[in-house]
Each structure stands twice: as C-alpha cells, then as structure tokens.
Chain A
C-alpha cells in the first residue's frame, strides 16, 4: 500500500484530482461509459481523492479507457482525468493486473522494436506499389541496452504475475450502477 501511494504521489495524483466536485461531465461524455455502466471516471476520481487506491487499481474496468481524452477536455476543473487514469493503470500494471494483450504488445516492442512487422505478403504488396523497403529499425544491441537500463525483464515478470486474480477481483470490487 505504501509503495502504491508513493507511485501515485510521484505524479501528484491525489493533489491533481482534489478539485473534483463530482459533476460527472467526464462520465457523461465518455464513449465507453455509454456501454459499460461499470466504467465510471467520476467514481475513479472520487476513489483517488478518498484514498481508496488499492481498491481502484484492482478494478479491471479501468483498463477499458479508450484514451479518447473527452474527459480531459470537458472537465470544468481542468482535471486531466484520462492522464490520471493512465497513471493508475501504471500502478495497476505493477501489481500484474494489466490485460494480457497490452503486456504482449509492450514485450514485442521492447524485444523487436515494433508492435508489429510487415508479413511477407505485405512486403510484396509494398513492392507492387513501388514503395521502398521499410527503413531499418533499432538494432538488437541498442534494444538490449535499453531493456537493461529500464530493468525491463523484472518489469515483465511483474506485469505477468497475477493475471488470474484479476478475474476474481472483477466480481467482488465492481460496485453497482447506482453508485
């Protein structure tokens, strides 16, 4: 819990969220909230202000944010809601709650440089269109140096750690629509 607080305080999250008066403009404009009542940015901000951080990072629904930035634009108090949710997700990922697909993509980027690479058929299509070969990307040596500087192997261990517990937490910690 202390670690979590520290990681959120590093980015001043409780302070940045404090001005929230719970008007719900963030949630009203949210394209995800339209379909998922359990995705409620107003509630997430309230939980941060009230120090319910442990409960918040265990909510799998925080990972549904599409990062469209509507909440950030509309907040009458200029609270950067989506930025705050992003930092909460970082803390959530450190506990191993990130979706598997996100973790896989990040690992592809750190091990090969790209989130995806053109398959053979696509290289042929590029060629047919007269496009040049894709420029060579970051080399293996520099990727290794980067990974070591960022302590990436240890991070990956953490990201992968508690995948199964997330599903269990799902049913327990999501409140009800009236919240």
Chain B
C-alpha cells in the first residue's frame, strides 16, 4: 500500500460494550491496509438513529452535530447505525437553515460549532472505494478457497440511497466484490435487503425474533456456510440472538456469522485467536479450521480457535 489515511475512530456503543472482536479485527485490518486511527475523546452515543431519533429529532440532531464537531479528522465508523446518524444529520443540517440555527444555538451553549462538509466514513465503504477489491486481492496471503457465503448488507449503509449514493438500494453488490477478492464465493439469495429485525426488539420482542428467523432461514436455504455483514446491530441479531431464535421456533440453524473485517483478517493471515473469533456465540471453529486446514494441509499444525 502506498497511500496513508488518517481517521478519528468511532466504534459506537454496541461494539464498545459488547462486540470487542469486531473492534479488534477492524483495527488489525485497517492498520494492515495503511489506515492510521486516532481515538476520539469526549464523544457520546452517535445517538441511536432509531430509538433516540424516534423520540426527539431535535435532541438527536444536537448530539450528532456535537459528536461531529469534536473530530479534527474525518470520522471512521464501524457501525451502519452511527454512519446513518452522522450522514442523515449532515444532510438535515445542510438542507435546512432553520434547523441549522436551532441546533447551532444548542451547540453555542456548549461552546461548540456545527462543522461544515462531510466528516464521516463507513469502514466498508472505505474498503471498497479507497482500497478496492483489486488492491485487497493483492494483500491476500491465505485465500478463503472453497468458502461459500451470503452477504447481508443491512439497511443503513445503502439507504437512503439519495443521501448515501453508494450502491443499489435493492441489490447492493459492491461489498460482495471485496469478499470475492478474498477467494471466497458469494452466493445469490432472495430478498437480500430484508431487515434482520434487530430494531424492533425494543417495541416487540416476538416480532423481532420472527423477522430474524425469516432472514436466517432464507440465508441458510441458499446453501451458504456462513453470513458476512457490516453492522453490529445485525451481528447481535443474527449471531447473538440466533440460539434464542432456534429455541423460539424449535429449529436448528447453526449458521456462523462473520464481520467483513474478520474474514479479511483471516485472508490476510491473522490468527483466529488474535481476531477474537472465539467470542462469537454461534461457533465458527469447525468452519475456520476446515478453511485453514484446506489451505495449509489437514495434517499440519492448524491454529485452533479458543471457544
């Protein structure tokens, strides 16, 4: 890699509090790809683009603008929810002079100012647009040959498409190219953009689990060995809640779920333990061992994943 990139790191509440393996793999991979991350001090929750924004748009916009005002460099987020909040907030403030005035007054009382221009990047979008599949493929030391996955894009990285202007809001494929670049195969499946249901958990748990089950069942039926995704909310719903869903619907899914940075990390030669893969709730060990075994010879010393 010849380019150097500098960003302020914004992990978001869920990764910070519950999913350290995502943060670990992202830090490892981004560093390997020439990204320098600095810590962002004094931040708060982005805040949550659904629960919080649904209650009070003005407070949501104020906290978002405040977070944006803290960063001396562009913000890199690992979470599609934080990305959604920041992009939507930038858009709302740019569009409406009235809102700018109102939110500006709140920030004034804190001695802060609304920043101008776009200040936020989603790690996956960065990987596609700034690194790119070809450059990524050159870095691969351990191709993920034989691995069949489905990609779960989640809602908020591509939608609203008129704000994000990143990929087709009904059938996004750009991030799948990154997975192909690792040597894995990305399978087609119906209704790729179907929501995982995580965001309904607060209002109706049964409905949320039902939505999660529908999504997992469709992905499992495609014949994939694993799911790849780029949002911690989807990760919680599809990995951490998978056992709950199995119990609720009396079924067995056992479908491993990877964060995109974890798969990239494996392909770049990082060890499963360094990546924290043992922290997944759906066991990824058999699949990872099969993968690494196929690459390095089944009888050799295969790095094992602690569970």
B-contacting residues of A (Cβ < 8 Å)? 31-32, 34-36, 63-64, 66-70, 72-73, 80, 86-87, 89-90, 93, 98-99, 101-103, 105-106, 109-110, 113-119, 122, 125-126, 129-132, 134-139, 142-143, 145-146, 149-150, 152, 155, 159
A/B interface sample: 12 pairs, CB < 8 A = A67-B49, A67-B54, A73-B161, A109-B47, A113-B45, A114-B17, A122-B18, A125-B276, A137-B41, A137-B43, A137-B44, A138-B44
What residues of B have a CB within 8 angstroms of the CB of A80 in the complex? 160
A-contacting residues of B (Cβ < 8 Å)? 9, 11, 13-14, 16-18, 20-21, 23-24, 27, 39-45, 47-59, 62-63, 66, 105-106, 109-110, 155-156, 159-161, 169-170, 193-195, 197, 199-204, 207, 210-211, 214, 274, 276, 279
In the docked arrangement, what's the CA distance between A55 and B106, Å? 33
In the docked arrangement, what's the CA distance between A125 and B109, Å? 38
Highest count of chain B CB atoms <10 Å: which of A99, A126, A129, A137 = A129
Q: In whole Å, how far is B47's beta carbon from the nearest beta carbon of chain A?
A: 5
Q: In whole Å, how far is A67's beta carbon from the nearest beta carbon of chain B?
A: 5
Q: In whole Å, how far is A74's beta carbon from the nearest beta carbon of chain B?
A: 8
What residues of A have a CB within 8 angstroms of the CB of B9 in the complex? 135
6 other contacts beyond A67-B49, A99-B202, A129-B21, with CB at 8 A cut-off? Answer: A64-B203, A66-B155, A66-B199, A105-B202, A126-B20, A134-B11
A-B complex: 4 closest residue pairs judged by Cβ atoms: A101-B202, A68-B195, A69-B159, A135-B39
Q: In whole Å, how far is A111's beta carbon from the nearest beta carbon of chain B?
A: 11
What residues of B have a CB within 8 angstroms of the CB of A126 in the complex? 20, 23
What residues of B have a CB within 8 angstroms of the CB of A155 in the complex? 56, 59
B109 touches A149 (CB 8 A): yes
Q: Contacting A106 at CB < 8 Å: which of B14, B55, B62, B109?
A: B55
What residues of B have a CB within 8 angstroms of the CB of A117 in the complex? 13, 16-17
A31 touching B55 in the complex, CB below 8 Å, given contacts A66-B211, A115-B45, A117-B17: no
Q: In whole Å, how far is A149's beta carbon from the nearest beta carbon of chain B?
A: 5
What residues of A have a CB within 8 angstroms of the CB of B170 in the complex? 73
B41 touches A135 (CB 8 A): yes
